[in-house]
């Protein structure tokens, strides 16, 4: 009688168990990341006490979802030659621009939204600066840039800023907490006027979870086919041996 419990088959069974266990575990890990991201987006940290930027993230770190909207403090040097204007920004029913100037912090530069302007022609700051602002994730609606050569970008997307700034950039940006600056024709950008992070920002983690579980199911299917084929090939062999 053929049996799949023979020691020579233990390796195949073990491989199946390891593959399925890994797929299930990785699926739940991605599911946890999706749930954590949704929970982070639901929190309002705008009134929290500021943290030093280095405690929230480093220059090479991915965006820390748990700190979305968290006030952070930083010190560095303005990069006036890299000032950009983010188009189509509303403020109290008026359409204008966000004014963004990066600040070099250590070995990387943090894009800083300094305020709102009706026109894209605001004097750029220079020198050292110490400021506090709300940490934000890169926008990512993939809006096209009609003229990549000018200093106006369609959204506050780090991938767009990289094309204009000759520095390593953080994977985030900061909206500066400030009062209105009449001399620079700047008005403050408030947390209420910052576009919300897309509801699909963490959808990829959920899709990855399903992908891992499907992989685990496929591994089970392959194992079942192998068991069936193995039993089918051994049965004729035993019949021949018994008739001899």
Express each pLDDT in 115-149 by its tens digit: 999 999 999 999 999 999 999 998 876 677 777 77
- Would you say residue 239 lies in a domain? no
- Would you say residue 6 lies in a domain? no
pTM of the model: 0.66
Q: Which residues of the chain have pLDDT under 70?
A: 1-2, 37-44, 141-142, 182-183, 196-202, 234-244
- Would you say residue 243 lies in a domain? no
- Would you say residue 85 lies in a domain? yes
Query: Which residue segment(s) compose the domain that 175 sits in?
Result: 60-193
- Would you say residue 35 lies in a domain? no
- Would you say residue 212 lies in a domain? no
Say how many C-beta atoms besides its own lie within 10 A of residue 12's C-beta: 14
The residue length of the chain stands at 244
- Would you say residue 199 lies in a domain? no
| Residue 96 to residue 116: CA distance in whole angstroms | 7
Q: How many domains does the chain have?
A: 1
| Residue 35 to residue 221: CA distance in whole angstroms | 29
How confident is the model at residue 37, as a pLDDT? 66
């Amino acid at each position: 009688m053929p049996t799949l419990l023979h020691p020579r088959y233990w390796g195949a069974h073990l491989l199946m168990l390891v593959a399925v266990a890994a797929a299930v575990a990785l699926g739940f890990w991605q599911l946890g990341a999706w749930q954590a991201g949704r929970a982070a987006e639901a929190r309002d940290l705008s009134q929290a006490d500021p943290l030093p930027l280095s405690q929230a993230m480093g220059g090479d770190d991915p965006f820390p979802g748990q700190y979305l909207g968290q006030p952070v403090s930083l010190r560095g040097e303005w990069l006036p030659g890299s000032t950009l204007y983010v188009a189509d920004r509303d403020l109290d029913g008026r359409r204008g621009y966000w004014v963004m100037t990066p600040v070099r912090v250590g070995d990387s530069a943090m894009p800083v939204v300094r305020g709102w302007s009706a026109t894209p022609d605001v004097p750029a700051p220079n020198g050292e600066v110490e400021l506090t602002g709300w940490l934000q994730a890169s926008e990512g609606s993939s809006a096209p840039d009609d003229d990549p050569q000018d200093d106006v970008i369609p959204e506050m997307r780090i991938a767009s800023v990289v094309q204009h700034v000759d520095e390593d950039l953080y994977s985030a940006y900061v909206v500066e907490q400030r009062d209105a600056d009449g001399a620079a024709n700047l008005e403050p950008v408030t947390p209420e006027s910052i576009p919300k992070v897309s509801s699909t920002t963490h959808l990829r983690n959920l899709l990855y979870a399903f992908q891992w579980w499907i992989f685990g199911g496929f591994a089970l299917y392959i194992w079942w086919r192998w068991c069936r084929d193995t039993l089918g090939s051994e049965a004729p062999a035993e019949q021949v041996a018994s008739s001899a």
